[in-house]
Amino acid sequence: MSDIVMELRDVRRTYRIGGGMFGKQRDLHALDGVSLQLRRGEVLALVGESGSGKSTLSRILLGLEAPTSGEVFLDGAPVASIRRRAFAARVQPVFQDPYSSLNPRKTVRQIIEAPLVIAGGVAASERLRRVRELLDILRMPERMLEAYPSQMSGGQRQRVAIARALISRPEIVVCDEPTSALDVSVQAEVLNLLMELRAEFGLTYLFISHDLAVVEYIADRVAVMQSGRLVEVADAEALFAAPAHDYTRRLLASALTVPAESSEA
Ligand SMILES: Nc1ncnc2c1ncn2[C@@H]1O[C@H](COP(=O)(O)OP(=O)(O)OP(=O)(O)O)[C@@H](O)[C@H]1O
């Protein structure tokens, strides 16, 4: 098995913007020729200022959007050749805001088992067994099974979102700011949990974060984006010790000027 679990080759994503009452139409290059390899079992953090293209890249990895040009590979196979359902089971998201990403009308049990219901082929008894197993791993009490999101704290909701991501036994989890909507005291708990789950299930993470203290804490490697391009990809330790690119240096320097509360996480 190759060391590379997912790969982007010269991926571009262009949006046509403007026009109508906003003036002339033009192309916005959200991703402008990005090549990136995700290594099996690593935490690869994606950082860069707002609008640099991080979410666009994550949506492409998740198959929620197709590149305008370039190619994406999963375990060496072009993603375009993999059936949608099979792909979704192997690459799962955890989004930023557990308040809006969970359906308020569904119970925890229904939310967590939903990916298996959609994929089909797993009996109800087996689905329940897997939901229970995950609740146990995530240290959530069994009585939570029939609870609704409104009855839970932010940290509990994010655990439910993580359980939903893991129920189909994915290889890759794409986390887009998974702890930034949580209280600082809960952030570390959720981060530690993500790291435990990586060891337990052999997961690979792409981890988007604005919070460089969080990135330094959990990332093996860091990819730095600026205006739709990757300007630096390096081992986390080396990058934080001696950033090679000027933009990375500025990003690290500007992080030092914000309040230090995130370092508690
Ligand atoms: N559906 C879309 N239509 C038009 N423009 C878009 C669309 N999605 C993203 N963009 C633009 O593409 C660029 C990259 O956006 P993206 O959300 O990927 O950046 P980001 O680094 O994730 O930002 P943030 O950290 O604020 O989430 C931005 O200029 C954004 O306005």
Taking only the tens place, the pLDDT of each residue in 5-53 is 999 999 999 999 887 776 788 899 999 999 999 999 999 999 999 999 9
What separation in Å is there between the alpha carbon of 7 and the centre of ligand 1?
21
* Cβ of residue 30 lying under 6 Å from some atom of ligand 1: yes
What separation in Å is there between the alpha carbon of 147 and the centre of ligand 1?
35
Q: Residue 106: left (phi > 0), alpha (psi -120 to 50), or beta?
A: beta
DSSP assigned state of 187 = H
Choosing from 11, 12, 15, 230 the residue with most ligand 1 atoms within 8 A of its CB, the one to mutate for a pocket test is 15
Cα–Cα dist 166/168, whole Å: 6
DSSP assigned state of 94 = E
Residue of minimum CA distance from atom 26 in ligand 1: 50
Query: Which of 222, 129, 206 shows the shortest CA–CA distance to 170?
Result: 206
The H-assigned helical ranges of 22-82 are: 54-61
What does the pLDDT read at residue 262? 45
Cα–Cα dist 52/57, whole Å: 10
Ligand 1: which atom is nearest the Cα of residue 31?
Answer: 14
| Amino acid letter for position 39 | R
Domain limits, the chain: 4-264
Global pTM reads 0.91
- pLDDT, averaged across the chain: 90
What separation in Å is there between the alpha carbon of 29 and the centre of ligand 1?
10
Q: 103 in helix, strand or coil?
A: coil
CATH architecture observed for domain 4-264: 3-Layer(aba) Sandwich (3.40)
Question: Tokens 């059936």 belong to which residue?
Answer: 83
Q: What is the average pLDDT across 256-260? A: 53
User: Of the given ranges (65-69, 116-120, 169-173), which has the lowest mean pLDDT?
Assistant: 116-120
* Cβ of residue 58 lying under 6 Å from some atom of ligand 1: no
Q: 41 in helix, strand or coil?
A: coil
For residue 92 the two structure tokens come to: 């799962």
* Cβ of residue 64 lying under 6 Å from some atom of ligand 1: no
Judged on CB neighbours under 10 Å (0-12, 13-18, 19+), 185 is: exposed
| Distance (Å) of CA 147 to CA 97, 143, 200 | 19, 7, 26
